[in-house]
Amino acid sequence: MGLAKLAVFLEMIKFEHTVFALPFAYTGALLAEQRLPSFHDFVWITLAMVGARTAAMSLNRIIDRYIDAANPRTAARALPRGLLPLGTVWLYTAFSLLLLAVSAYNLSPLAFRLFPVAVIALTLYSYTKRFTWLCHLFLGGTLALAPLGAWVAITGSADAAALALAAAVTVWVAGFDIIYACDDYDFDRTAGIYSIPARFGIAAGLRVAKVFHVVAAGLFALCGHMLGLGVFYWLGVAAAALLLFWQHRLISPADLSRAGVAFFNLNGSLSVAMLTAVIAEVVLR
């Protein structure tokens, strides 16, 4: 793949959206042992996340290519336009899954044994919008594998705090995915795609997203309480709550024009803010 094709591929999988999951993978690793991970663990967690997310997005684009072609918002994506051969995308999906498998093997025996579970999750979530409006929670649960997988890789187990962190990420992602789905309200209803906005309406969908984000803030706080974390972590939780509040102030059922800002800028800032707070908590306390 030449540089031009590589650029098309990275745009297709929205590589910049790695900012949502990767910081939480590091957060899970940091909180698991309450110290900076070893260089070995840091490298393999990073590579595992790159492999997992690239595979997930590549599979999503492959599985949804006909839906994307029919949706005016997504018709310009690489596969519907023929900018990349389908076989090439499959090849890079296989390489990404191989990278995830090798990374899991180098992290821990348990992480490697759970590799098939991760592959199932990465594949299944793309199909859920075909049969359930709970698809947003499936997506959130898939991204929550980032902190949970890192935690398991470091400690060999997942305690209640790890599950609280994973649950927080699940409902946080589900909330902003509902906001994102509002842009496809008309198409989803016409095409029979399942989503909370398509099923219950945009106004109700935004209310559900607010509830999810309140719950997310509470679960982030619960994780910190379980671990007995200090002021830096709580500043991170406060920053996350403020960012969640802000994104809901930016949008309304009558005006979704700033949904893109809410989706990428503020949620990307949230994951970075939480990671920064956890680093400070672990290093400076």
- What average pLDDT does the structure give for the chain? 92
**Domain locations along the chain:** 3-284
Q: What is the pLDDT of residues 22-76, one digit of tens each?
A: 999 999 999 998 899 999 999 999 999 999 999 999 999 999 999 999 999 999 9
Q: Which fold has domain 3-284?
A: Tetracycline Repressor; domain 2 (1.10.357)
Residue % of the chain over a pLDDT of 70: 96
CB atoms within 10 A of CB 105: 15
What pLDDT does residue 218 have? 98
What pLDDT does residue 261 have? 67
Lowest mean pLDDT among 78-87, 154-163, 261-270, 276-285: 261-270
Q: What is the pLDDT of residues 105-136, one digit of tens each?
A: 999 998 999 999 999 999 999 999 999 999 99
Q: What is the pLDDT of residues 235-270, one digit of tens each?
A: 999 999 999 999 999 889 988 888 776 667 788 899
